[in-house]
Amino acid sequence: MKKKLYYLTVVLIAVLLLVAGCGTGVENQQESASVTPSPTATPTATPSPTPDASALAAASEKAAMEELDKQIQAFLNYQGEYAPESITYINWAKEITKLGLLDTSPKVEGILLGHVNIGDPLLLIVGFDGVDENRFVTPIELPTYYLDDPDPILSFSFRQYSSPIVDYDTKYFDTKSKEEISNTLSELESNVISISLVTNDDDRELERELEIFKDQPLAIRFLEDLKVKTSYAKALAMEVADNGFDEIYFKIPEDIKLEKIESADDVSKIDLSKVVDIHSIGFFNRDFKGITK
């Protein structure tokens, strides 16, 4: 009897241990199921900044103005390619040694140091030798608004001379494209150019021209502007070196003064109402092949 009781006790203890072990396993499984693993961070690439178009344009404009200033200073100080002995003058009328009068029509010659697009007009920055023996730089306005007339009659003309000492066999390159004008000017920078000055303020001549362009309102505006600015064209002819053309003389009002530039910073201060207008340029450049598209 005692022996049977002993065996029953052993069996009971074994059953209790088994039940306790199963309970612990379930709890462990429940705990294991309730634990949420920590998320793993996924590395992401830092996006590159998008270039700002206005910032790029400003940087480009700044670089262009710095280069223009460099050319202005080199010219005013007779440096490098702007030293007198390095310049190829246009001199078909007589031997010319100064950037000034080219003939009595009058035409003048100067060095195109650069050009600036300030909206509608293009501003040519041109260097001359003065009648007082001092160099100066002045803006020349190249209006392009008349090219916006429907089927414009007027065009801008580039004249290429076959030689710096004769004016025959001149090639004419006419264009009505603002982009072509600007691109071609870029090609001609640092070259000597000739400019025909409009000094005729005869109302009868203007009336004849206005009749020709009566259906071209912007061309008419341009022709009227040319007439208004004849005093400044005369002033330029009087201020550049005369190169021995003593017969050139214009009577102009005392308050007519040319706009002059000593640095690129002066460009923003220019009064366009006091700037000479042109609609053609002459030059000698053996490498020039034609209008730059």
DSSP of 145-183, one letter per residue? GGGGSSS-S--EEEEE-S-SS---S-EEEEE--HHHHHH
How many structural domains compose the chain?
A: 1
For position 292, what pLDDT does the model report? 63
10 found inside a domain: no
Q: Quick one: which H or E segment has residue 13?
A: helix 2-34
40 found inside a domain: no
Residue 48 has phi, psi (to 5 degrees) of -70, 140
96 found inside a domain: yes
Residue 83 has phi, psi (to 5 degrees) of -70, 140
22 found inside a domain: no
pTM for this model (two decimals): 0.78
275 found inside a domain: yes
CA quadruple 203, 208, 214, 216: dihedral sign: negative
38 found inside a domain: no
Range of the domain at 133: 58-283
**Residue ranges of the chain with pLDDT lower than 50?**
1-36, 39, 41-45
For position 167, what pLDDT does the model report? 62
Taking the C-alpha atoms of residue 234 and residue 96, their distance in angstroms, rounded to an integer, is 20
For position 287, what pLDDT does the model report? 73
293 found inside a domain: no
For position 168, what pLDDT does the model report? 64
289 found inside a domain: no
Alpha-carbon 260 to chain mean position: 20
For position 1, what pLDDT does the model report? 44
Taking the C-alpha atoms of residue 20 and residue 31, their distance in angstroms, rounded to an integer, is 17
For position 172, what pLDDT does the model report? 87
